Chain A
Amino acid sequence: MNTIWTTIAIISLIGLVLALVLYLVAEKFKVVEDPRIDEVEKVMPGANCGGCGFAGCRAFAEAAVKAPNLDNNFCPVGGNDTMAKVAAILGYEVKEKAPMVAVVRCNGSCANRPTVNTYGGFASCRVKATLYSGDTACAFGCLGCGDCVAACQFGALSMDPETGLPVVDETKCTACGACTKACPKALIELRAKGPRGMRVWVDCRNKDKGPAAKKACAAACIGCGICAKTCRHEAITVADNIAYIDPDKCKLCRECIAMCPTGAIHESGFPKPLDKEATKARILERQKKEREEAAAKAAVISSEVEKSKPQEEK
C-alpha cells in the first residue's frame, strides 16, 4: 500500500515541477500578438490563394494590421465587402476598388488559326512554351494545354473543346491573378468588370506585322489603327502592331467593334447585341460629314487668306 502512495507522491511532484518549468518558459518567451490579426483573419475568405500578394490569408491579416493604411493591401477575392469589414476592425478608411475579372486575350480558335504543327509531348503550356512557339504560325497565342485552368482554385476557367481556348466563368472568377501568372504567353489580363459587367477589349496579343498576323490567324489584330481613329474618347492606343483599349477611358460605345476589319475586338455583358452593319454605316456617314466639314473649313480659311493677301499688299 505504501509503495502506491510514494509513487503517486513522486509522480505528482515531478508533474508539478515540470508544470512550473513550462509556465516559466512560456512566460519568458511569450509572443504578444495583436488580437486584431485573428479578427481580421476571421473575416477573410480563407482561400489562401495568394492573390493579394501574401502567402495566405493569415499573412495578409498580419500585413494589414501592421500597415499604416490599407492602400497597398487589397483582397481581390473578398473584394470591397471584405475590405470594408477589415477596415471596420482596424479603424482604417478603405478605398473602393472596381471589381476585376480575368479576360483571355486570344481568339485563335481552331477555326481562326490553321494548325501547322502537332504536339505529342507533356500536356502543359509551360513545357510546350520551352519547346516551341505553338501549333500555329502565331507565336503569341494560346497554347491550349490549360495551365490556367489548372492554376484556378475557384473553378472559374475551363477549356472550350470547340475553340480550344479557355473560357472564364465571370460568376466564379475572383480576380486573384493566378491564371495571369500561369500563362507562359501572358494572355490573361485582369480587367475592370465594367458597369453592369459591360466591357470591350482587344482579343489578341500578336505583335507581328499585319500581313503575317493575318496569315497566322483570321481573328488577329493587325495593328491597322482603324479602331484608334474611330474612337472618340481616345481610349485606344496602338503599339507593337497591337491595339489596346484603356478600360478607364472606354465609354462602351462599341464603335471600334463595328469598324475592326478582323473582328479582333470583343464585348461582354451588353444587354443588346451590336448591329455591326448599321453602326458601321453610321460611323462612315459621320466620318464623311466630318471630312466634308473639314474641307469646307479649309476652303473658307484659304479663301480668307486669299482675300487678306491683296489687302496686305496695299
Chain B
Amino acid sequence: MRKPTFSIGGVHPHDSKISRECRIEPMPLPDSAFLAVSQHIGAPAKPLVAVGDKVKVGQPIAEPGGFVSAYIHASVSGTVKSIAPRADLAGNPVMTIEIAREGDEWMEGIDQSDTLVTDIPDDNKALLEKIKLGGIVGLGGATFPTHVKLSPPPGSKCERLIINGCECEPYLTSDFRVLLEKGEQVIVGAAILKQVLGGVPCTVAIEENKPEAIAHINEVIAKLQKLSPKFNGIEVMTMKMRYPQGGEKQLIDAVMHRQVGSGALPISVGAVVQNVGTALAVYDMVQKNKPLIDNTVTVTGECFPHQANLLVRVGTPLRSILEHLGGIPEEAVKVISGGPMMGKAVANLDAATLKGTGALLLLTEKQTARKEEGPCIRCGKCAEACPMGLEPFLLQKLSRNGDVEALEANAAQDCIECGCCLYSCPANIPLLDIIRLGKADAMKAIRDRAAKK
C-alpha cells in the first residue's frame, strides 16, 4: 500500500540523521541562564521578578503580555542579575532576564522522579489552565502558545488531534529520540491533549525512516490501552518520507485529506496539530507539575565529532553547549539553529537557547557556499516543488519589483518559507530570500487593511 503524504509539491533531501543513535543526555547546568521575554509567537511576556530576586527552578518569572502569549519560568535557581536588552540569535536586542545560577533548587510540588503517571484528571478546564500556567508553546518550531491552540474559537469544532512526529527536516533527531525514550510520556501527553479537545480521535504521524519509533509507539499504545479507556482512539500513521511533511497544513492534508484555506487556521477544517515535544511538555506539566524549562536539542553536523541529543535548560548559552561537546571544529563555518532547510544561521553564539530551539547544526564552507545566481530558465521546478501550490518564480519577480497588489493576488502571504523552491532551483536563484520580503509586504498590506476596518 502507498504510504500517505501530502498531495502537492515537496522535495526529498537526504535525511542525514547521523545523531539518531545518541541517547538523550542531560546537559550540565549553565552558570547563567538568559531567558528572553519573547520566546513565542505573540505579545512578549511581562517580567514578574526584579533584579536581585532569588528564584527557584520552575518559578514563573514572566507572565503573558496578551491573549496570545505565554508564561516563562526560571530554568535554573539563583539570583536575577539583570533585566535588560541582550543580543538574540540574530544579534538583535531583545529584553532578557539573566539568572546567575546557585545550586539547583526546585520549586515545591515538582515531581522530579521518572515514575510514569497515567491517571489523567477529568476536569478539562483545570487541565487547560495548567497547560497555560506551564508556559507551554508549540515545540515544532513556530512556538505558538499551546493553550490558545487548544481553545477553539466559538463555532469551530475539533475533529482530530494530530501528534506531529514526522521530523521531516534532515539532521534533526530530537523528536525521534523523545519518541523512543519517552514514548509513554508522549502518549499520555497526547491523551491529555485529546481529552481537552473533547475526546477526539488522535493520530501520531511518524515518517517511515523511523521504524523503531513506529514499533515502539505501537507497543506503548497497546500497553496503555489495557490500563485505561482514555487511551482508546490513539493510532500511529506511518508517513511516506517527504519534506515538508511536518508543516501543519501539509500534515493535515496527508492525514485527513483536507486543505486549510489561505489565511485560515487548522481548526477551520477540524484539525489540531501538536508536536511530539509539546505532548511531552504537556505530560510534564499536567502529571509532574514541571513547567517548560528544558527541551531536547540535537547537536549535529558531519564536521562535528561529538553528535548528541541533549536535554538543555531553556536559556543556556549556545557557546556553552558547543564547548561542553568539545568545542567548534575548525572546518565548521556556520552554526544553524534548527534544520538545514528552515533553520536560521546563528549570528551570535553568546545568545541563549529558546523554548523552540530544537537543534544546532554545524556546517562546513563546502556545505554552505552559495553557487552563483543564474538567469531563470523557466523550468518550473520551483512551482512543482512548492507544497503550497504557489509560483515562486513569479513571486520573486513581483517581490523584486515591489508589486504588493500582485503579490497578494498571487498568495505570497501563504508561503510557509520551507525552502523547497530554493532547494530545487537549478539556476541557484535565492528565491526564498526574495519571496520572504514580498511576503512581509503582502502581510503588512493585509494587516493595514484589517486595522482600517
In the complex, what residues of B have CB within 8 A of residue A131's CB? 90, 344-345, 347, 433
Give the distance in Å from the alpha carbon of A117 to the alpha carbon of B436 in the complex. 22
A122 touches B434 (CB 8 A): yes
The verdict on A108 contacting chain B, using a C-beta distance below 8 Å, is no
The verdict on A271 contacting chain B, using a C-beta distance below 8 Å, is no
User: Which chain B residues (86-124) contact chain A, with CB distance < 8 Å?
Assistant: 87, 89-93
B92 touches A139 (CB 8 A): yes
The verdict on B377 contacting chain A, using a C-beta distance below 8 Å, is no
In the complex, what residues of A have CB within 8 A of residue B89's CB? 132
B93 touches A139 (CB 8 A): yes
Residue-wise interface mask of B (425-440) relative to A, using a CB-CB cutoff of 8 A (1 in contact, 0 not): 0000010011011001
Residue-wise interface mask of A (98-128) relative to B, using a CB-CB cutoff of 8 A (1 in contact, 0 not): 0000000000000000001100111010110
In the complex, what residues of A have CB within 8 A of residue B90's CB? 131-133
Give the distance in Å from the alpha carbon of A208 to the alpha carbon of B92 in the complex. 11
A121 touches B430 (CB 8 A): yes
Range, interface on chain A: 10 to 19
Q: Answer whether A122 and B433 are a contact pair too, CB < 8 Å, given A133-B91, A133-B347, A208-B93.
A: yes
The verdict on A130 contacting chain B, using a C-beta distance below 8 Å, is yes
B437 touches A130 (CB 8 A): yes
The verdict on B378 contacting chain A, using a C-beta distance below 8 Å, is no
B87 touches A139 (CB 8 A): yes
B430 touches A120 (CB 8 A): no
B333 to chain A: closest residue by CB = A118
In the complex, what residues of B have CB within 8 A of residue A124's CB? 433-434, 437
In the complex, what residues of B have CB within 8 A of residue A121's CB? 370, 430, 433
B370 touches A127 (CB 8 A): no
The verdict on A134 contacting chain B, using a C-beta distance below 8 Å, is yes
Q: Answer whether A133 and B436 are a contact pair too, CB < 8 Å, given A120-B369, A122-B430.
A: no
Nearest Cβ in chain A — how far from B111, in angstroms? 40
Give the distance in Å from the alpha carbon of A134 to the alpha carbon of B89 in the complex. 12
Give the distance in Å from the alpha carbon of A137 to the alpha carbon of B370 in the complex. 24
User: Which chain B residues (434-449) contact chain A, with CB distance < 8 Å?
Assistant: 434, 436-437, 440
In the complex, what residues of A have CB within 8 A of residue B368's CB? 120
Range, interface on chain B: 20 to 34
B344 to chain A: closest residue by CB = A131
User: Which chain B residues (68-99) contact chain A, with CB distance < 8 Å?
Assistant: 87, 89-93
B434 touches A132 (CB 8 A): no
Residue-wise interface mask of B (388-409) relative to A, using a CB-CB cutoff of 8 A (1 in contact, 0 not): 0000000000000000000000
Give the distance in Å from the alpha carbon of A126 to the alpha carbon of B347 in the complex. 16
In the complex, what residues of A have CB within 8 A of residue B93's CB? 139, 208
A121 to chain B: closest residue by CB = B433
In the complex, what residues of B have CB within 8 A of residue A120's CB? 368-370
In the complex, what residues of A have CB within 8 A of residue B369's CB? 120
Output the residue of A116, A120, A134 with the most chain B CB within 10 A.
A120
Nearest Cβ in chain B — how far from A276, in angstroms? 33
Nearest Cβ in chain B — how far from A126, in angstroms? 5
Partner of A132, one of B91, B370, B430, B437: B91
In the complex, what residues of B have CB within 8 A of residue A116's CB? 347
B85 to chain A: closest residue by CB = A208
Give the distance in Å from the alpha carbon of A66 to the alpha carbon of B146 in the complex. 54
In the complex, what residues of A have CB within 8 A of residue B348's CB? 133
A127 touches B436 (CB 8 A): yes
Nearest Cβ in chain B — how far from A300, in angstroms? 45
Give the distance in Å from the alpha carbon of A220 to the alpha carbon of B434 in the complex. 31
Besides A116-B347, A121-B433, A132-B90, 16 other A-B contacts (C-beta < 8 A): A117-B91, A117-B347, A120-B369, A120-B370, A127-B433, A127-B434, A130-B437, A130-B440, A131-B347, A132-B89, A132-B92, A132-B345, A133-B91, A133-B92, A133-B347, A134-B347
Q: Which 3 A-B pairs have the closest CB atoms?
A: A133-B91, A132-B347, A132-B90
Binding site for A on B (CB under 8 A): 87, 89-93, 344-345, 347-348, 368-370, 373, 430, 433-434, 436-437, 440
Query: Would you mind naming 16 contact pairs between A and B with Cβ atoms under 8 Å apart?
Result: A116-B347, A117-B91, A120-B369, A121-B430, A122-B430, A122-B434, A126-B437, A127-B436, A131-B347, A131-B433, A132-B89, A132-B344, A133-B92, A133-B348, A139-B91, A208-B93
